[in-house]
């Protein structure tokens, strides 16, 4: 069968085995990408016809997501994680080593070969990096020896599913446990408690516990569920945001790996309270290795009467959960973008209000919470609000899971009561000679030494879980550059302040890092950053300037000695014309020299 016929037949079978619904467009495209290492034009056209969706819309979705391509990626599609902590662990040298060994250019695609090598945003493996994805599957603990082994397997054309299984091992790396990680609940225990007490009493318990969303924004969980419950509709939905794409964050990865049962319990609990019959886990594409495990957990609960029809024998309690994969778009961690993606669209943030609790998935009331929040809600329902309030502060009750990486001896997952200081955390994780800590990922804030007595709490430093450590040997300008390029890459492009402002900021940071910037450039950086923060469409644009503003305000020593005189040339003519002069064989004095062969 020729490739064209194969693509058409594959799409026909794909539609026949599922539904021809436009909201499944992204999921179908992901399956096509996995089969062909790209989206063939004939597949796009056939899918467009089946879903009654314009081809331009299909192509627009393909262009939006990083993991979808119209050009072949080859039998081996290799993506190195490009988070700053991976770079600190030596990822750049490993990329060069693999490319030299295989004779490929990074970022060039597969072409007529069988291998493509490129970089991608943080893959959520910062505690065991450098990391990579090979055909979507995770490999951690990369070093020179492992790179040589990978190169040999590629040269032998060995299928990835025959590679050594220890390559794909992902450690939980749980270093410190407290309330949430120490507690366990039995399958169905929270549901039985809710059915016995009633949804109103259960919501009151969650409210009394003071549970707030663990994604960083900290919206009151009970209030969100109550708003959804009280919105008139014939259908409601529960969505788990498992798209933790914030650089340096990996705590939900661990919960998905070890507490999937409790996540599903929490989602079903929410469904029972708000009256939902359908739920989704939006799983980030980088966590593809968890897909089978999560599907098995869903099937086990269904077999035990805890999902599906008549849950726990209640004739009016029906709830199903589906897993939808993301495809490499950081913006889809924002709840309205996530809902757009669930509907098979480009993940462009919606204008709010209306909020998802009133008009979410398919225009229906929808609760969106992350993994940690659903698990905490289930545990509170079983153990009670007083149990939960034994930890934390008045405004920030309970505990918080932190993903700790960077310059420390013991990276991994740490659970602390809210109110813990940064200094305490650094001591526990074995961080010495620390210069700064980036809390809450690239979108968060860089904390200097004189602020290490501040605490992790909603009333002080809020975080979704990322905690990256940088010692005094690190160039914080390079860290800021990594973050600014991340935001340029991940901007959805919808609004001008983010799309254009982010690119301008990135160029100015690069100029500063190269020692070509003046104080005028610093003021330009502040002006652009302020404009982005005040006028961007969504949270990505408003938080993207944070690394630059923190650098300017808190770490002047990192750039003061790199500034040039305000009246000095900012443009390096010699460097800009170097390649052209070498190609033409012409020097600045106008003399043509003999060209090199």
Does 592 or 370 have the greater pLDDT score?
A: 370
Query: Do 549 and 480 share a structural domain?
Result: yes
> Which tens digits make up the pLDDT trace of 362-405?
999 999 999 999 999 999 999 999 999 999 999 999 999 999 99
What pLDDT score does 596 carry? 45
Distance CA 439, CA 230 (A): 36
In a domain, 70, yes or no: no
Q: Virtual CA dihedral for 571, 575, 577, 579, nearest 10 degrees?
A: -150
Q: What's the mean pLDDT in 319-330?
A: 97
Same structural domain, 317 and 342: yes
* pTM confidence score: 0.94
Q: Does some domain include residue 71?
A: no
Could you say which of 338, 356, 388 is where a domain stops?
388
Residue ending a domain, choose from 64, 95, 112: 64
Domain tally, the chain: 5
CATH number (domain holding residue 276): 3.40.50.11540
Same domain, 184 and 97: no
- DSSP characters for 92-159? HHHHHHHHHHHT--TTS--TTSSEEEEEES--S-GGG-S-EEETTEEE-S--HHHHHHHHHHHHTT--
pLDDT confidence bin for 570, thresholds 50/70/90: low
What is the three-class DSSP state of 543?
helix
Residues 135 and 226 in one domain: no
Question: Please, what is the average pLDDT of the chain?
Answer: 94
Does residue 198 lie in a domain region? yes
Residue 138 lies in a domain: yes
User: Do 412 and 296 belong to one domain?
Assistant: no
Query: Does 148 lie in the same domain as 293?
Result: no
Mean pLDDT of 241-255: 97
User: Measured between alpha carbons, how far is 127 from 115 in angstroms, rounded to an integer?
Assistant: 27
Indicate which CATH number applies to the domain containing 112. Answer: 3.40.30.10
Tell which residue, 535, 483, 473, has the closest CA to residue 509.
483
Is residue 387 a contact partner of residue 263, using CB atoms and an 8 Å limit?
no
At 116-147, the pLDDT tens digits run 999 999 999 999 999 999 999 999 999 999 99
Dist CA 341 CA 324 (whole Å): 9
Same domain, 218 and 336: yes
Range of the domain at 229: 175-388
CATH number for the domain harbouring residue 489? 1.20.1440.230
Query: Same domain, yes or no, for 597 and 548?
Result: yes
Per-residue model confidence (pLDDT) at position 593: 47
pLDDT value of position 310? 97
Looking up residue 415, the CATH number of its domain turns out to be 3.10.20.600
pLDDT over 90 at 3, yes or no: no
Instruction: Verify that 502 and 559 share a domain, yes or no.
Output: yes
Which tokens sit at 280? 């989704």
Yes or no: say if 551 and 559 are a contact pair by the CB < 8 Å rule: yes
Q: What is the pLDDT of residue 111?
A: 72
CB 76 within 8 A of CB 114: yes
Q: Which of 121, 143, 171 corresponds to the end of one domain? A: 171
Give the DSSP H/E element, type plus range, for residue 201. helix 199-209
| Strands of the 132-134 sheet, one edge to the other | 115-120, 76-81, 132-134, 137-139
Asked if residue 134 and residue 27 are part of one domain, the reply reads no
* For residues 355-363, average pLDDT: 97
Q: What is the dihedral of CA 264, 265, 271, 276, to 10 degrees?
A: 40
- The answer as to whether 363 is a domain residue is yes
| pLDDT, tens only, 490-548 | 999 999 999 999 999 999 999 999 999 999 999 999 999 999 999 999 999 999 999 99
- Is 349 part of a structural domain of the chain? yes
For residues 262 and 224, state if they share a domain.
Answer: yes
What is the rounded radius of gyration, in angstroms, for the C-alpha atoms of the chain? 25
Does residue 266 lie within any of the structural domains? Answer: yes
Same domain? 459 vs 488: no
579: in domain: yes
């Amino acid at each position: 069968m020729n490739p064209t016929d194969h693509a058409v037949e594959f799409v026909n079978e794909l539609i026949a085995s599922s539904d021809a619904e436009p909201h499944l467009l992204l999921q179908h495209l992901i399956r096509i990408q996995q089969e062909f290492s790209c989206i063939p034009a004939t597949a796009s056209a056939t899918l467009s016809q089946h879903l009654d969706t314009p081809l331009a819309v299909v192509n627009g979705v393909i262009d939006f997501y990083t993991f979808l391509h119209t050009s072949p990626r080859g039998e081996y599609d290799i993506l190195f994680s490009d988070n700053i902590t991976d770079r600190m662990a030596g990822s750049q040298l490993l990329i060069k080593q693999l490319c030299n060994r295989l004779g490929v250019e990074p970022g060039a695609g597969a072409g007529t070969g069988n291998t493509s090598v490129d970089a991608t945003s943080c893959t959520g493996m910062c505690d065991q990096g450098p990391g990579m994805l090979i055909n979507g599957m995770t490999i951690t603990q990369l070093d020179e020896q492992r790179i040589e082994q990978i190169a040999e397997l590629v040269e032998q054309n060995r299928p990835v599913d025959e590679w050594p299984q220890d390559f794909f091992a992902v450690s939980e790396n749980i270093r410190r446990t407290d309330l949430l990680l120490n507690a366990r609940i039995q399958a169905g225990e929270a549901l039985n408690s809710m059915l016995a007490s009633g949804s109103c009493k259960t919501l009151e318990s969650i409210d009394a516990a003071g549970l707030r969303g663990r994604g960083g924004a900290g919206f009151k969980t009970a209030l969100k569920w109550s708003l959804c419950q009280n919105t008139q509709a014939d259908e409601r939905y529960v969505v788990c945001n498992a798209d933790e794409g914030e650089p340096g964050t990996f705590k939900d990865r661990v919960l998905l790996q070890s507490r999937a049962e409790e996540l599903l319990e929490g989602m079903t609990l929410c469904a029972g309270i708000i009256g939902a019959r359908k739920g989704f886990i939006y799983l980030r594409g980088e966590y593809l290795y968890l897909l089978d495990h999560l599907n098995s957990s869903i099937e086990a609960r269904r077999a035990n009467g805890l999902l599906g029809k008549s849950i726990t024998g209640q004739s009016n309690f029906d709830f199903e959960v589906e897993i939808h994969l993301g495809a490499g778009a950081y913006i889809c961690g924002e709840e309205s973008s996530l809902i757009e993606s669930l509907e098979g669209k480009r993940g462009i943030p919606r204008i709010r209000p209306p909020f998802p609790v009133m008009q979410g998935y398919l225009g229906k009331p929808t609760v969106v919470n992350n993994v940690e929040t659903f698990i905490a809600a289930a545990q509170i329902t079983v153990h009670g609000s007083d149990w939960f309030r034994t930890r934390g502060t008045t405004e920030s009750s309970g505990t918080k899971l932190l993903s700790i990486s960077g310059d420390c001896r013991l990276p991994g997952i740490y659970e602390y009561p809210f109110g813990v200081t940064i200094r305490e955390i650094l001591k526990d994780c074995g961080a010495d000679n620390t210069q700064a800590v980036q809390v809450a990922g690239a979108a968060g804030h860089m904390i200097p030494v004189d602020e290490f007595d501040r605490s992790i709490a909603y009333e002080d430093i809020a975080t979704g879980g990322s905690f990256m450590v940088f010692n005094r040997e690190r160039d914080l300008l390079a860290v800021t550059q990594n973050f600014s390029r991340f935001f340029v890459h991940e901007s959805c492009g919808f609004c001008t302040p983010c799309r254009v402002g982010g690119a301008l900021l990135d160029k100015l940071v690069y100029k500063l890092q190269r020692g070509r910037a003046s104080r005028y450039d610093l003021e330009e950086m502040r002006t652009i950053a302020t404009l982005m923060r005040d006028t961007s469409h969504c949270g990505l644009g408003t938080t993207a300037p944070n690394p630059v503003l923190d650098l300017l305000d808190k770490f002047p020593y990192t750039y003061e000695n790199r500034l040039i005189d305000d009246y000095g040339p900012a443009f390096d003519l010699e460097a800009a014309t170097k390649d052209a002069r070498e190609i033409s064989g012409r020097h600045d004095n106008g003399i043509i020299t003999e060209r090199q062969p």
